[in-house]
Chains A and B, each alone.
Chain A
């Protein structure tokens, strides 16, 4: 208690606003900014490999990459996707439940009590893994969820395993916005976005959740498999000193949440610079008409490749001066890496020689 007060006064310990640097394997580059456009769509989100085709969600529609065709359309916007090897698709819907689309097109709803607020889906063998971001706010209110939680408040998110037959099981709860899941070497790897880390969960529920990667310099989103046995991780926004500071400033944050439109909050976002009413930071002041790539930014584009032991080995960036921000999903397929930029309204692709180590 006293320790906390002193820390708050002098700005150290929990009150320090240090942010891990983007260095080593995370050293910035312009790879995403220079990558070829695979598709343009409004806020493209979750990429999945559905029997060799790449499907992605955009608003209420499920589209096929390269075909310019709507595979399926729903009455609410899609929050997340997963494809099972047998051709079943799981689709999370905003403000509701997860539905299963069978290969023949039949749609079945899963019980909303276990699947609402789905932010990410994955299949583990036959079972469906559902990441439920938070029970306090709907998925499109993610910014409010983060800003209300601050840096340390426990989350209300959970990860639920739904077997094809049998009752659903909660693998972990009290999570701070789980936003990605993938089955990896018999365990479920989950990205806990507001805590900037990856957790490994035991699908049998035997062992406690284990932290496998911490101190990410951004807010992690979806996970997917890399062809060499590793994982791909999408990071949609950077951590910044100012946001970390605001997350510790309860008075300011409370008034900001009450009085200001969420587009203009000091908060991570999927795209910035759309309006002059948005907050800007000192380094983002244009000099001689130029915005520097290292300028502080509230949004970012980043795809990280993790080795099988979760060590980052490679990364692709879209920096402050770029526009391919809000990267929420990465998918490697047939020698190409696809990255969905939700803030930049594009899906870009990188050829194998850029990301496969010789």
Chain B
């Protein structure tokens, strides 16, 4: 751009002076646009190709009456049996979550910039965390079955390992955000690395340790159903068995049990979260405090320590409400973990044999091979899985943007409407997608359509919330300015509100795509087609070379989507 001096006086009439040339668009911006349009086109094509069109969908839903007659009355297992499978599921999920928390903590310490021991440790732990995130738990499960054989241990390790991807990442982020002052103080007092990490870093992230653990417990409970299909015990195992043998009444009853279980866990988690955050006077601790006031005595003299009856200095906190609650919760957790270990027969697991078998077993997976069927069966199934992910995301966007917008207080016509939609979002979030997919599969029959519908509907729970949150974070003055210019409601929405949230929106959509492609793999296992179907077949028929090939395919797809998302977030930030 050349500057010509002196500049002519500004004029209201265009045409006299040359307009400055438009700055060349950033090539990365163009690439992002191409990717977005490509994904949109892919979504539309996938919808048509998979048959997720209104007439077809409504045609299939015409069977709904038929569905009711097939599933009613629900056939619940007898109480004792139901309890034992529920306990097994909860035990596996609890141990998997505990495992992921305990393994994630040291990994996160090594992965966080302020606590790592060096660049090598940091890089390796980041790679491990990313790897665990990329591999779906079902893939861990089919590999681990070769090492440990049937048993709960496979489920625990598979779910635990794949949880590390999220838990480890969140812990590392939390560690990087702590106040580094206390750590420096311990260093200045001669404390070593692990001393200051345990004494100052871990206490600071304790609330996040608990909150993330609870969140992951919830996610794992929902995911646990799928592991039943590859032989992990618990409700999922019986659910899979019922559906595979077309016992719809039993299957639906068990699906309902999982749904109720998820809601109960969500409620309990909410209570615990409140207790951690609100250290208020009321509630359970308040009650304990009012009881313990009877025996708690506090020192009065500031310059002499309180002494016990024996004359020794009192150096343990009084048994007040907080200490009772703390002791009770730690005790309960330990007892639950111990019970879970007993229930799942972990003590019987033969780790020695697994270690011995490791290399021979891994050897069975190599070389990966499709047995000449790759292009005829497996490749189309990979494409189908990607199509399900794309179609579900497109459907999700179409559903979630209006729902999310109406849930945002600064867009919704009234506060009541916003609250109503917020509640709706929370309710949808409570429904496990997998259970929804299973119900839909029973209604409309096996195939990708119910999977796409379930994931698209599930997007209301996740994507709408993200959309609503980012809309509420927009600068309302821009909306005011556009409104002052005489724009109507719709014009304000599109020109000011949506425009402002575009970068955040793209990030959310990519995240949802990432989630959906992983989920489509899993849905294949319950009968929605795609690569999951062949994964399950290869697992059952013990075709290790095929399994390896499919796993590699899944990983490549997941990593491509992850890479795209990462790149786009970088560009549009």
The finding on whether chains A and B are genuine partners in a shared complex, rather than unrelated, reads no
Spell out B's residues near A (CB within 8 Å): none
